[in-house]
A and B are shown apart, each in its own frame.
Chain A
Amino acid sequence: MTLTHDAAVAAGKPAPAPGRLTDLFQLGLDAPICLTWELTYACNLSCVHCLSSSGRRDPRELTTAECRQVIDTLERMQVFYVNIGGGEPTVRPDFWELVDYATAHHVGVKFSTNGVKITSEVAARLAASDYVDVQVSLDGATAPVNDAVRGPGSYATAMRAMENLASGGFRNFKLSVVMTRHNIPQLDAFKAIADRFGAQLRLTRLRPSGRGADVWQDLHPTPEQQRELYDWLVAHGEQVLTGDSFFHLSAYGSALPGLNLCGAGRVVCLIDPVGDVYACPFAIHENFLAGNVRDPGGFEAVWRSSDLFASLRAPDTGGACRSCGHYDSCRGGCMAAKFFTGLPLDGPDPECVQGHGQAALAAVSSGAAPKPSADHSHRTVPVTIGRRPPRRDCDENPLAGFTA
């Protein structure tokens, strides 16, 4: 599961421009720059912070034929690439077929995986394509830190996948890390792991979305750690990707590389496994549901004419943040982070680096934050099967009491 475009907005200050690029993007594009497509809610893991509360497959999942139709639409709309996630997308039996279909139709693929299916054969095949990129998730530079969040054995799985990718000749795949209170001290160690495998490090923000809502309070970085992260990101510049997810940190000073704006419904969106289109991957809630790819007109109609997206593209007022001198750099922060912590969308981000979020959070009454619309978590409560004592010994074992 990942956000958005890591493609740093490079290039120039060409010829006279009608305005800042962020202002143009703010009003939306004819098609998303890229979009996140979660192919399945099925997952072999149960990460505590899963944005999509994944675990069990949804029986209404898009079929292979429906997925192909979505890809045809994306090709027509000239969406450059999709970020495929889940769940664990590679557990879908038609996953590789869909990847091949997308790249044959000029839609690039970057997929996120916990590494479970990345054997050396798969790695070698992936390395051969310019149009497929792989992102391996790891949330601790050491097994104890990672496995506490992603589950026992997940560190070993990810490391094996990265070894396979590196030895299969896949250069510059992504090592993707969600930043938490426990792994921010490991920033340099993550970089060392990425360097060792010839990978590029990608750091993203922990969101209080999905199951993340339950652990956000305990796992989100402390204010001191946010500063440490910002300084580290500034020092590493464009070498390290962020999915542009830390724009709320830009209020510390200079803007981080990339697009400093909430792209929800403007330049990005999410298609979930059952075809629902949400404004962003972190906002799986009916308030941010724009439509479904199975609706008449398909994804194109949802993107171009949903009321929700139209309202997100309207110029925003900045609300309570407008009078803050940092509004131009942080743009009020992340919509999903505000929503799932119970904060108003036109107010400060819960992790506002100027401290306005803490005060706002204190005013949210307990239990007031909205809950995600769906939960596909594995049922982890063990099922107990009651046992009655046998009425006769023979009910237990036909040879009971038999002695030769």
Chain B
Amino acid sequence: MLKALFLGFLLLSLIFFSGCVNNQTISKGNTTNLTTEELENQAIAEIEKEMNHAIENMSTEDIENLITE
């Protein structure tokens, strides 16, 4: 029983430790500004994806209706 508890504790420590390592990897080697820029790039890419997708859905019929209304 004690052995199982010890193993469980060891595994949980591993989980927390892996989280710390991952967070460190993200910030490692990057200044705060660069990280912000990277995040901004990511945001712009998301917006561009949304934009292209929505614009693709604008049919010429919609535009024709607008002009003739």
Partners in one complex: no
Q: Which residues does B use to contact A, with CB under 8 Å?
A: none
